[in-house]
């Protein structure tokens, strides 16, 4: 006990020295055209905005929204003990500059140090040659013909299984967690197509990844994580071990299936299953690029898995959440899908619908609904870049070397300046022109998929997947909430819904009662 008290005092002493060093000797003021940037309300003399960052993420989102309302497009400075000086940008012109100057605004040491345990040297956590090589492998995986197999073969298969599961739940009148249902679809899909493996939403790996993502986010929120984690991080360590073991399993499995597929390629005929032909194509190209470096292949594979699977499942979850509150929008989706597929009331059970025909081109309103969901619930709600060298933003803000640039997509997407007075309302119509075409926004205006050379590689895949799933679910089912009040997200690098989305399932006007 005495030892603990002694070490506690030592930590406190160290902390005091660190804070004084940071704030009295080091923290530079960032200026715009020579004038110091404004600071947000409640910035404390020594802790700066640090205490605020310790709050639950929903409160943090609200704080960023409040700042956007107060500062509009004006860049402001934030300070958090132990972090380099930082600014928050809201102006799309500044963001465009950040996107265009990837060489200046990189992931940086700050981001990498905090997320290395989770992402290793995977694409999300590296710059330069390692990034380029992984991006190339990803581009090959997400080519047009693989995406066609995804929409025509793989997704209808896993979506069909989800429909069956929901029909059973409907029959039992039992509650179903739709977040798990969507996670199961994307887990199976990515598992099969990218890694030629069976993956599920409740695998140990998934649970561990979920935990580790929350713990990594806490590092970003808690500036003293390196002080607290040795005492509180045992579960985090366990989760990281599970993740690493699974990563190596993916690689070992791929090495086996690679040999097998090379054996088979000589005998395969034109009738071979299209899905089996593309299965594992991502991991196989990673094996080729990083031959012999198992850890590297594993990091790359796990990064793609987390980027491609969780984001889409979460976006679908928030979409149905919003549709349960906006029946008018669900009805319009149904009308659009019925017009495109010719289904008559009480006729569709899922088996006979060609869900592959549900595409962003054939269903613009459904696509607009997906975009409107992403606007209000962006799966990656915060972004961080670090200046590799001093730079000046278009608004005149001079950023010293190593300073941090934050933008909060969640807050930017609610800006009344850029989205109008009804920015807080869920209104898919804002995404459609008068003649029903989809409105396009630049990446800087709508940074949900990032932008510049690091634009999300899976944007097209996400759109194809989401439209097919939303159209099918809304056509067949009517969901009602089995929870009270508002749903919020839990701590994570992405936007999972806390405690899932428990619902009751009934047939829609077009689905068949079980
Ligand atoms: C609604 C779904 C999705 C959203 C909102 C989304 C959003 C994003 C964002 C914001 C980034 C930048 C992250 C950062 O580095 O700071 C990103 C990167 C990335 N995304 Fe997505 N994503 C989605 C789906 C997908 C899918 C389905 C894939 C397929 C595998 C994917 C693959 C990637 C990859 C590989 C990167 C890293 C790109 C790079 O650094 O060059 N994403 N995504």
| All domains in the chain, ordered by first residue | 56-263+275-507 (1.10.630.10)
> Probe ligand 1: pick from 186, 382, 458, 492, max atoms within 8 Å of CB?
458
- Mean pLDDT for each consecutive 10-residue tract of the chain (514 residues)? 38 47 60 94 80 82 95 94 88 98 90 90 92 92 92 94 94 95 96 90 90 88 84 91 91 75 47 72 87 88 90 98 98 94 72 86 97 98 94 97 96 98 98 94 98 96 97 96 96 93 92 70
Could you identify the atom of ligand 1 that is nearest to the CA of residue 314? Answer: 1
Q: 385: helix, coil or strand?
A: strand
CA distance 123 to 303: 6
Percent helix / strand / coil, the chain, rounded to 5: 60, 10, 30
Nearest CA to ligand 1 atom 42: 458
Ligand 1 close to Cβ of residue 50 (< 6 A): no
Cα 511 to middle of ligand 1, angstroms: 34
HEC secondary structure over 322-366: HHHHCHHHHHHHHHHHHHHHCCCCCCECCCCCCHHHCCCCCCHHH
> Probe ligand 1: pick from 123, 187, 307, max atoms within 8 Å of CB?
307
Could you identify the atom of ligand 1 that is nearest to the CA of residue 138? Answer: 35
Ligand 1 close to Cβ of residue 105 (< 6 A): no
CA distance 118 to 220: 13
Ligand 1 close to Cβ of residue 190 (< 6 A): no
Ligand 1 close to Cβ of residue 310 (< 6 A): no
- ipTM score: 0.99
pLDDT of amino acid 495? 95
Ligand 1 close to Cβ of residue 108 (< 6 A): no
Whether 54 and 222 have beta carbons less than 8 Å apart is answered as: yes
Nearest CA to ligand 1 atom 3: 311
Residue 489's DSSP bridge partners are 497
Ligand 1 close to Cβ of residue 114 (< 6 A): no
Cα 471 to middle of ligand 1, angstroms: 23
pLDDT of amino acid 347? 66
pLDDT of amino acid 468? 97
Whether 73 and 42 have beta carbons less than 8 Å apart is answered as: no
Ligand 1 close to Cβ of residue 493 (< 6 A): no
pLDDT of amino acid 260? 53
> Probe ligand 1: pick from 456, 460, 466, max atoms within 8 Å of CB?
456
Could you identify the atom of ligand 1 that is nearest to the CA of residue 409? Answer: 10
pLDDT of amino acid 275? 82
Nearest CA to ligand 1 atom 1: 312
Ligand 1 close to Cβ of residue 460 (< 6 A): no
Cα 200 to middle of ligand 1, angstroms: 21
Whether 508 and 477 have beta carbons less than 8 Å apart is answered as: yes
pLDDT of amino acid 497? 97
Nearest CA to ligand 1 atom 17: 456
Structure tokens at 196: 């030629």
Ligand 1 close to Cβ of residue 458 (< 6 A): yes
Residue 477's φ and ψ, nearest 5 degrees, are -125, 160
CA distance 302 to 310: 12
pLDDT of amino acid 350? 64
Ligand 1 close to Cβ of residue 82 (< 6 A): no
Residue 48's DSSP bridge partners are 44
pLDDT of amino acid 41? 83
Nearest CA to ligand 1 atom 7: 449
78: left (phi over 0), alpha (psi -120 to 50) or beta: beta
pLDDT of amino acid 498? 96
pLDDT of amino acid 321? 98
Ligand 1 close to Cβ of residue 315 (< 6 A): yes
Ligand 1 close to Cβ of residue 246 (< 6 A): no
Ligand 1 close to Cβ of residue 308 (< 6 A): yes
CA distance 320 to 313: 11
* Beta strands 404-408 and 86-88, pairing class: parallel
Ligand 1 close to Cβ of residue 302 (< 6 A): no
**What is this structure's pTM?**
0.91
Cα 309 to middle of ligand 1, angstroms: 10
Structure tokens at 253: 């499995």
Q: In what order do the strands lie in the sheet with 35-36?
A: 35-36, 31-32, 397-399, 391-392
């Amino acid at each position: 006990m005495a030892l603990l008290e002694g070490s506690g005092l030592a930590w406190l002493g160290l902390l005091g020295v660190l804070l004084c060093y940071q704030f009295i000797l080091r923290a530079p003021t960032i200026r715009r055209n020579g004038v110091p940037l404004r600071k947000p309300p409640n910035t404390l003399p020594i802790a700066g905005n640090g205490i605020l960052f310790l709050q639950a993420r929903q409160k943090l989102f609200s704080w960023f929204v409040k700042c956007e309302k107060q500062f509009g497009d004006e860049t402001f400075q934030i300070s958090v003990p132990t972090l380099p000086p930082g600014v928050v940008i809201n102006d799309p012109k500044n963001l465009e500059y950040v996107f265009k100057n990837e060489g200046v605004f990189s992931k940086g040491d700050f981001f990498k140090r905090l997320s290395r345990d989770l992402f290793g040297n995977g694409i999300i956590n590296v710059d330069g040659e390692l990034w380029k090589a992984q991006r190339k492998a990803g581009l090959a995986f997400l080519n047009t013909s693989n995406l066609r197999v995804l929409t025509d073969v793989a997704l209808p298969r896993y979506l069909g299984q989800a429909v069956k599961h929901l029909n059973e739940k409907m029959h039992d009148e039992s509650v179903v967690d739709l977040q798990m249902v969507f996670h199961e679809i994307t887990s199976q899909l990515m598992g099969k197509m990218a890694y030629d493996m069976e993956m599920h939403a409740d695998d140990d790996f998934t649970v561990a990844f979920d935990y580790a993502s929350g713990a990594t986010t806490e590092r970003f929120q808690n500036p003293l994580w390196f002080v607290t984690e040795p005492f509180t991080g045992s579960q985090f360590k366990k989760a990281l071990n599970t993740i690493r073991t699974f990563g190596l399993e993916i690689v070992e499995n791929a090495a086996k299936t690679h040999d097998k597929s090379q054996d088979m390629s000589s005998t395969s005929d034109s009738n071979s299953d299209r899905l089996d032909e593309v299965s594992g194509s991502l991991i196989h190209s990673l094996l080729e690029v990083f031959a012999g470096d198992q850890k590297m292949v594993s990091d790359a594979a796990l990064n793609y898995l987390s980027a491609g699977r969780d984001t889409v499942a979460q976006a679908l979850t928030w979409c149905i959440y919003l549709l349960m509150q906006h029946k008018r929008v669900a009805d319009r989706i149904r009308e659009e899908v019925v017009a495109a597929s010719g289904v008559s009331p009480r006729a569709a059970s899922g088996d006979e619908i060609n869900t592959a025909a549900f595409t962003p081109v054939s269903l613009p309103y459904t696509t607009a609904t997906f975009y409107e969901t992403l606007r209000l619930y962006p799966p990656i709600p915060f972004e961080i870049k670090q200046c590799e060298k001093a730079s000046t933003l278009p608004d005149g803000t001079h950023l010293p070397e190593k300073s941090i640039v934050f933008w909060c997509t969640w807050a930017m997407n609610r800006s009344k300046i850029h989205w109008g007075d009804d920015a807080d309302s869920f209104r898919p119509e804002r995404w459609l022109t008068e003649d029903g075409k989809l409105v396009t926004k630049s990446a800087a205006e709508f940074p949900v998929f990032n932008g510049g050379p690091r634009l999300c590689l899976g944007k097209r895949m996400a759109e194809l997947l989401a439209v097919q799933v939303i159209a099918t679910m809304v056509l067949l089912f009517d969901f009602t909430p089995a929870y009270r009040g508002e749903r919020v997200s839990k701590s994570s690098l992405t936007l999972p819904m806390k405690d899932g989305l428990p619902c009751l399932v009934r047939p829609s006007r077009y689905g068949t009662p079980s």
